[in-house]
């Protein structure tokens, strides 16, 4: 668990400050990200909860510098290990970035090239991180060690296998292995295990927990499951329509959600103890061409106040470590 938090360190591994991103389309601009504030400390597991269309993938792509060509230049700053990423020219220094930040995608089958063996794909990932000059023996050894590190038995056989010969859970482990092959600072896991069965997903999430503890890697865990967030992350953000609406330690977030959107989400999860199904949240996600003024959630909010459509609430610290962007809790421009 985050020693970093216990020690109260404020040095962030990743610090996203007020990032906004727009995309140019026929009808105008899609203002997808709208002043996102987000940070990750070393050795921390941060959950990012958001539904389809909230912009979480765009945010990750912005951090990883892999936005689509029709994206206008992002505003704001992204600090990673102290250096600012957005201001640097496109491409920037490649090797240090790749070693330090890696992403594991949702669908392990799609992330692996079916016509190459696992071994050759891992070799590519390792070489990209440590430099193409490394010799084959060294690369192989790193690959074997990493596969052992993700609890895969018989790593030699797996390195010689093709992806289709492995099960979904094994493929996901291989993807994680490729991402952590060289010790880095940050692992971004996009809905890991969502396409897998619950029992296998459980194993994968525990593996990520183990990696964090062993290697001190930080993890951004993107998920739409509040249950996963509660059990598998230290701290979590809730994202809606391009900005963060709430941030708290995970258990507290789920036990005592403050933002009306978070409340809507928590209530919508069917409980094992029964009690029926909540009505969900009325309305649809906003149109990014003409997003709602002020707080982007206001058209769907059961606690709407007039100020909500006029101003954007800032991220206001209600309790220790628990931030909400909502006028119900004060968060005005005077914070």
Partner 1 sequence: MPASFMEVATTDREILRVENLKKHFPISKDKAVEAVDGVSFAMPEGEVFGLVGESGSGKSTVAYTVIGMYKATSGRIIYRSQDITKTYNRRSLALKKEVQIVFQDPGSSLNPRQTIGQILDMPLSVHRLCTGQDRVRRIQELLEMVELPPDFMFKYPRNIGGGEKQMVSIARALATNPSFVILDEPTSALDVSVQAKVINLLIRLQKQFGLSYLFITHDLGLMRNLAHRVAIMYLGKVCEVATAQEFFTNPLHPYTRMLLSSIPVLTEAEEDLKPKRFTSRGEIPSPVNVPPGCSFHLRCPEASGQCSITDPSWAEASSGHEVRCHLYTSASCIQAGAGARGAEW
Per the listing, tokens 């992204």 go with 78
Q: Taking CB under 8 A as the rule, does residue 124 contact partner 1?
A: no
Per-residue contact string for residues 188-227; x = within reach of partner 1 by CB under 8 A:
--------xxxxxxxx-xx-----------------xxxx
3-state SS assignment for residue 38? strand
3-state SS assignment for residue 259? coil
Rounded to a whole number of angstroms, the minimum distance from the CB of residue 105 to partner 1 is 17
Q: Taking CB under 8 A as the rule, does residue 57 contact partner 1?
A: no
Q: Taking CB under 8 A as the rule, does residue 160 contact partner 1?
A: no
Sheet containing 243-249: give its strands across: 101-104, 186-190, 218-223, 45-49, 235-240, 243-249, 322-324, 316-319
Sheet containing 83-84: give its strands across: 28-40, 14-25, 75-80, 83-84
Instruction: Find the binder of partner 1 among 277, 287, 319, 332 (CB under 8 A).
Output: 277
Q: Taking CB under 8 A as the rule, does residue 177 contact partner 1?
A: no
Count of residues engaged in binding partner 1, rule: CB under 8 A: 46
Q: What is the rounded CA–CA span in Å between residue 42 and residue 134?
A: 28
When the beta carbons of 66 and 153 are compared against partner 1, the nearer one is 153
Contact (Cβ atoms closer than 8 angstroms) between residue 259 and residue 302: no
Instruction: Find the binder of partner 1 among 65, 77, 127, 230 (CB under 8 A).
Output: 230
Window contacting partner 1 (CB under 8 A); options: 10-18, 90-98, 167-175, 310-318: 167-175
Helices (H), 101-197: 108-111, 118-130, 136-149, 155-159, 168-180
Residues contributing to the site for partner 1 (CB under 8 A): 51-53, 167-170, 196-203, 205-206, 224-228, 230-232, 254-255, 264-266, 268-281, 284-285
């Amino acid at each position: 668990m985050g020693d970093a938090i216990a020690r109260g360190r404020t040095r962030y591994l990743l610090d996203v400050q007020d990032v906004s991103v727009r995309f140019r389309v026929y009808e105008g601009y899609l203002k997808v990200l709208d002043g996102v504030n987000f940070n990750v400390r070393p050795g921390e597991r941060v959950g990012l909860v958001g539904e389809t269309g909230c912009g979480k993938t765009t945010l990750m792509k912005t951090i990883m510098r892999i936005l689509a060509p029709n994206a206008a230049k992002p505003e704001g700053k992204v600090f990673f290990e102290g250096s600012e990423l957005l201001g640097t020219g496109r491409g920037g220094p490649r090797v240090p970035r790749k070693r330090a930040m890696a992403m594991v995608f949702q669908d392990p089958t799609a992330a692996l090239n079916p016509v190459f063996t696992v071994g050759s794909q891992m070799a590519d990932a390792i070489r990209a991180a440590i430099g193409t000059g490394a010799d084959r023996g060294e690369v192989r050894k790193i690959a074997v060690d990493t596969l052992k590190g993700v609890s895969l038995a018989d790593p030699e056989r797996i390195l010689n296998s093709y992806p289709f010969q492995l099960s979904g859970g094994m493929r996901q482990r291989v993807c994680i292995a490729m991402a952590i092959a060289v010790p880095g600072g940050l692992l971004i896991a996009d809905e890991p295990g969502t396409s897998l069965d619950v029992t296998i997903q459980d194993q994968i999430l525990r593996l990520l927990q183990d990696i964090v503890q062993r290697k001190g890697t930080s993890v951004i865990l993107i998920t739409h499951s509040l249950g996963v967030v509660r059990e598998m992350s230290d701290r979590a953000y809730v994202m809606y329509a391009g900005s963060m609406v709430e941030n708290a330690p995970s258990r507290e977030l789920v036990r005592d959600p403050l933002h009306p959107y978070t409340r809507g989400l928590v209530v919508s999860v069917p409980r094992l103890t029964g009690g029926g199904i909540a009505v969900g949240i009325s309305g649809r996600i906003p149109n990014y061409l003409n997003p709602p003024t002020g707080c982007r959630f206001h058209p769907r909010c059961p606690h709407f106040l007039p100020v909500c459509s006029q101003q954007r609430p800032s991220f206001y610290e209600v309790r220790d470590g628990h931030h909400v962007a909502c006028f119900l809790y004060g968060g005005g421009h005077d914070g």
